[in-house]
Structures are given as C-alpha cells and as structure tokens.
Amino acid sequence: MKKLFNWGVAVLLTVSLSACNDDFLNKLPETSIGRENFFNTEEDLNLAIYNLYDFPSTGIYTDEAYTLTDNAYSTGNVELKTMMTTSPSSTTITGGWDWGQLRNVNFFLENFRNAQLSDERLAHFEGLARFFRARFYVNKVKRYSDIPWVDVVITTDNEDVLFGDRDPRETVVNNLLADYEFAANHVDIAAPQGAVNRWLVKADYARFLLYEGTYRIYHPELNLQSTAPALLQRAAAVARDIMDNGPFSLYSTGNPMEDYGTLFKSQNLGGNPEIIFARYYEANLLNGDSGEGVFGNYESFPLKDLVQTYLMADGSYYSSQPNYQQNEFVQEFADRDPRLYQTYAYPGWVLVRSGTYAQGAGLYVQQLAKNFSGYHQIKGFYNTTNQDERNNMDVPLYRFAEILLIYAEAKAELGELTQGDLDISINLVRARAGMPGMTLNPAIDPVKAAKFPNVTSAQRAEIYEIRRERRVELAFEGRRHDDLMRWGAGKFLEIEPLGIYFSRLGQHDLTGDGVPDIVLLPASQSIPAERERNSLGVPLAYYRVGTFGQDVSIFLGGPTSGNLLIVENAGTFVEPKYYYRPVPQQQVLLNPNLQQIFDWE
C-alpha cells in the first residue's frame, strides 16, 4: 500500500472542529471558535493549513479544453468561448470574485502565533500560509490584473478595505512575490508525501515569475515592459536552484516510447525522481480515476493544431513535409516525436476501457461525430477496466521537466541562452523522448514565426523552439491557456479549430493496416441498411458528410475533402480586453470605487 498523506481527510477534520457544538442555536461565530479553542498546538496549525490546500487533480487533463486553447476544444459551456461569440459585459461575466480562501489565510496569519512553538516552526507555518496567499493572488492577477490587496481579516469596521479601490497590478505582484520569497526561505524542505514542502514553493514561484515576466513583455497595455527582465532573471535563478540543489531528475528507464506516458498512468508516483508534487490516491481510501471523458467523445477533445506541432522523429519540422496539411490520419502519425504516441490515440492503438465509446474495445477506430475533431486523448486516460487500478492512479502536478523548460525560456527571453543552458534543460527533456538535441540558432520554422510575430528577443529562433517543446511536453497538463495569455497570443483562438483531414469521399483506413475501416458518403446519399464488411470481416462505419446546417453525420471543410469542422464561427478575441475579466456588476454596485478597466463596462 502507498504511503498516503490524505490532506482531504484533514480538511474534513478541520471543518468538523469549527462546526462542532452541541447547541447549534448558541454556536459561537466561526472566528470566535478559532481564536479561543484553536491555534494552540502544532497539530492545530497543521489542520488549519490543510484546509487551505487548493490543488487541482485529474481535471488538468481536460483543463485546456474548458479554458479554451489551440490544444483542445469543448462542446460544453466555456467562459471565453461564450465571450468571443456574444457581447459580454460585467452583468454576464460574474464568476471569479470569491474571497473565502484569502480570508482563511489571513485569519490563520492573525492567529497562528498563539501556538507555543519555536520561532523556526512558526516561520515554517507563516511561510505555508503566505504561499497559499500568493497562489490566491496569482489567480486573481491573471483574471483581473488590478485587484484589491487585502492582508487582514475584514470586519465591518474595515470600511477603507471594504470600499477600497483596485490596487495596481505591480503593487499586488510585489506583495505576492514577497510572500513567495518568505515561503521559499522558511517552509520545511522535507514534508510527508503529498504535503507542501520548500521545493514545491520554489516550483510554483518559478512558474509565476516566468508567467509575469513574459506577460509584461507581450502586454504593452500594462506599460511594465521595463520591469520584465528582473522577473525573468529571478525565474531563471529559482529554476536553477531547483535544478542544482533539488533531489530531482527526469524519469527514464531508457524506453522513449513509454517513459513519458508512464508518468500519467502510474499507480505510485511516490519516489519518482521527476515528481515535485502530485495528488496521491489509494483505491477504496481516496479514489482517483480521471473518467472516460478524458478520452473524448464527451465534451472535450484534442485538436489537429497540436498534432502538427510535434517534430518528426529526426528532429525536422513536420511543416517541412510536402503538403503536410493534407496528410490523413495514418500519414500524420508516421515517424514522429514519440511523445505524440503517448498523448494521442494513434493508428494501431488498442482501446481497453470502452465505456460509452460505441465502437467498443479493441483496435482503435475513430468514432466520428458532429462538432468533434476525430482525435482522441490517451494522456491521462486510464485505459483499463480494473476500477481499483483506475482509482489508484496518481496525478503529477509539478514535474522537474517543467522547471527545465522554465529555465530555458527565461534565459532565451533575456537573450542569455547558451548551448550549455540547452544541454542542462531542453536537451535532457528531448533525450528522454529519444529526440535529437536542440542547438543555438536553429533554423526558423516559418509556421512558428507567423504565429508569434511579436517576439523581438535576439534569440527569437530559440524562443520559437522552446515554446514548441513546452507545448509538446506539457500538453494536456493545464498550462497552455496561461501560455497563450502571457504571450499575447489570444488571437490564436480565432483560428478555426480543426479535426482530422480526409482527402476524398469513399473508404478510409484509420488503423494503418491497409484495410478500410470507414466510408464517407455525400450528403445526398443514404447510409445503406446492410453495411459492407472489410477483408477482416468487420462491418464498415458509414458517415454522411456535409456542412453546417445540413442533416449529416459530420461536417467537412469541402464537398469532397477537407478537415473535420468543429464550429462554424470561433468568434473574435478582442485585445487587450479579453485577456482580463470585469469586476461583476453587482460588486461595483456595492462598492462604486471598483472601477472597470480595459474597456469593460
């Protein structure tokens, strides 16, 4: 059995402590209970800290569809997709203005010194609380930019805070960086598996430093470009500290066709040298399971644009292949970066956990449907019928690979990247995947250059390839949306999301065995009552193709050929407005000092 640090149970204990009282009608306010009967021992402090844990879980595997990216799409209700296709305002965009976590953190910071502990132990607990306050404000800065900074527990007497204005982004960021810095210097280096330690603090710190440093470069509306280098230098320094002094290395058994994918279908990540922090699960104690929706054909699914990002196995650009955009499914998976086959279902892959997938278990054949891409995701999909195995899968949230990518990107943005830097960062990641290493001054991929015209660093060629590596290595781990936003690449989301390409109507092989699996028919033709069988004796799947508005099985880009189409209109990304969200109108009515910014009304 795994050693499981179950902070989920600890949270329940904390809630029960605050709510326990025989006479609920005469129950003391929660704050009174905490001050008089809590915060007295180290156990009390630990329970209160566990109540602040706010880490994601298996949701990372579909996050890039539900936040909207060029990696994945969703047929469900996605805030940014709705914004881009309607006329949003502060009366329709109302989520995100929540402050409960901050109040809990500040309440802890006002009371934790009641415990009779050494200064060192108290500093550890202060660091933990300030770490969670920094995380809280990171999310608020990403959403609103300028946001009130509050470091006290608000009461009715705090009118200056209750009716205060938004603090400038730079002020808020400086404050949260001070929280990170304190935590990075005082939180314990060691902690039980699944608990916050100093290495996690530093990883989260480096992640945000890179985010904020690059955000300021590519968002001139902030007028903070001159402050970006200091943040990037700090990002590189914190990442290098983890690289040089942390106990981490990339997980590898020397099998590039499996090692990467193993990280996302492991029943025990404890002791894995790459894992800085994970969610740990134990079947029948704390069940995991990412769910069948990860695979696809529910709401979320991967896109063609990501498929085209992976390099060829020899390190050359996929876009350098003749007529690469017209490659059909089997062709586009030939001789590619091994991580592609550990992320997407590929020709010849075998489905075990069929669930709601109508094609059933066995050799994978796409189940096509309107508004879906035809691609399916296997990264984070637990392809087993054993429920205990699925419930036992751990979820990697912070990996050493990301630290290497942070270091390389920060150095390239500063124009300071050397071949030595590449060899201790990007090239380690590529080597694990069996891919050729990267060198300085790589040939510029015109596709990348066209996508990122706002890159002005002297090492822009290197930046393009580092961004490619980051996209491939971290695909479907919930990082892509933040990357697009910080790079000022919101316009990418206006590009029509596409699925697999079909060169013609008629029969198609989707498994790579040379035997047809499906038949595409024109909209004018009916699917036959008796379906033809292929040479293996398997009935062919039939689909009528057409365009939006027609009663067909799937939407195709042209009358006889094209990509599977997902939406008729992806919408408009208004810059810089849609990089931010409005303060909900109800909050402005309560506090008129909360003025809208970036053209929000």
Q: For residue 31, is pLDDT > 80?
A: no
Q: With bands split at pLDDT 50, 70 and 90, how would you rate the model's confidence at 29? A: very low
The owner of tokens 């996929």 is 318
Task: Identify whether the C-beta of residue 176 lies closer than 8 Å to the C-beta of residue 135.
Answer: no
Tell me which residue has tokens 């506090």: 591
Going by the DSSP 8-state scheme, the letter that residue 78 receives in this structure is: -
Sort 344 into a burial class: Cβ within 10 Å, 0-12 / 13-18 / 19+: buried
Q: For residues 296-321, give the mean pLDDT.
A: 96
pLDDT beyond 80 at 14: no
pLDDT band at 34 (very low <50, low <70, confident <90, very high): low
Q: Residue 501 corresponds to which amino acid?
A: Y
Please tell me the predicted confidence (pLDDT) of residue 15: 39
pLDDT tens per residue, range 484-532: 999 999 999 999 999 999 999 999 999 999 999 999 999 999 999 999 9
Give domain limits for the chain: 504-560
Q: Are 380 and 220 in contact (CB under 8 A)?
A: no
Residue 554: strand pairing partners: 545
Q: Does the pLDDT at position 461 exceed 80?
A: yes
**Residue 482: which of 135, 65, 67 has the closest Cα?**
67
Question: What local confidence, expressed as pLDDT, does residue 281 receive?
Answer: 97
Residue 162: the pLDDT is 84
Give pLDDT, residue 7. Answer: 54
What pLDDT score was predicted for residue 355? 83
540 vs 415: CA distance, rounded Å:
55
Dig out the tokens for 441 from the structure.
């001054």
Q: Among 145, 148, 152, 140, which Cα is nearest to 165's?
A: 148
Q: Average pLDDT over the chain, rounded to whole?
A: 93
CB burial of residue 564 (10 Å; 0-12, 13-18, 19+): buried
CA dist 453 to 413, 446, 480, Å? 14, 10, 18
Cβ atoms of residues 507 and 531 within 8 Å: no
Q: Is the pLDDT of residue 30 over 60?
A: no
- Amino acid 423: pLDDT: 98
CA distance 278 to 57: 8
- Mean pLDDT, residues 102-115 taken together: 97
CA nearest to 268, candidates 195, 193, 199 = 193
pLDDT tens track for 252-270: 999 999 999 999 999 999 9
Q: What is the 3-state secondary structure (H, E, C) of 345-397?
A: CCCCCEECCCCCCCCCCEECCCCCCCCCCCCCECCCCCCCCCHHHHHCCCEEE
Tokens 């006002």 belong to residue: 110
Assess contact for 430 and 401: CB atoms under 8 A. Answer: no
589 Cβ contact partners less than 8 Å away, ≥ 6 residues apart: none
pLDDT classification of 26: cutoffs 50, 70, 90: very low
Of 31-35, 126-130, 256-260, the range with the lowest mean pLDDT is 31-35
The pLDDT, as a whole number, for residue 4 is: 56
pLDDT digits (tens, 9 = 90+) for 413-455: 999 999 999 999 999 999 999 999 999 999 999 999 999 999 9
pLDDT at 8 over 80: no
> What is the average pLDDT across 471-477?
98
- Report yes or no: 255 and 261 within 8 Å, Cβ to Cβ: no
Inter-axis angle of helices 119-144 and 42-50, nearest 10: 10
- pLDDT of 13 higher than 50: no
The Cα 312–Cα 316 span in angstroms is 5
Residue 550 — pLDDT band, cuts 50, 70, 90? very high
The average pLDDT across 1-18 equals: 48
Which pLDDT score, from 0 to 100, does residue 277 have? 98
What is the pLDDT averaged over residues 585-596?
A: 96
Q: At what angle do helices 42-50 and 100-111 cross, to 10 degrees?
A: 170
pLDDT attached to residue 46: 97
2 confidence band (pLDDT: 50, 70, 90): low
Average pLDDT value for residue range 567-591 = 97
Confidence of residue 9 (pLDDT cuts 50, 70, 90): very low
Crossing angle, helix 228-245 and helix 400-413, to 10 degrees?
A: 140
**330: enclosing H helix or E strand:** helix 329-332
Report the pLDDT value the prediction gives residue 360, as an integer from 0 to 100.
Answer: 85
Task: Write the DSSP assignment of 562-596 as a string of letters.
Answer: EEEE--S------TTGGGS-PPPHHHHHH-TT---
Phi/psi at 564 (nearest 5 deg)? Answer: -65, 130
Q: CA torsion 32→33→34→38, rounded to 10°?
A: 140
pTM for the complete prediction? Answer: 0.94
Nearest to 591 by CA among 207, 90, 171, 76: 90
Residue 27: what pLDDT?
Answer: 34
φ/ψ of 271, rounded to 5, equals 85, -5
The percentage of the chain sitting over the pLDDT mark of 90, rounded to a whole number, equals 90
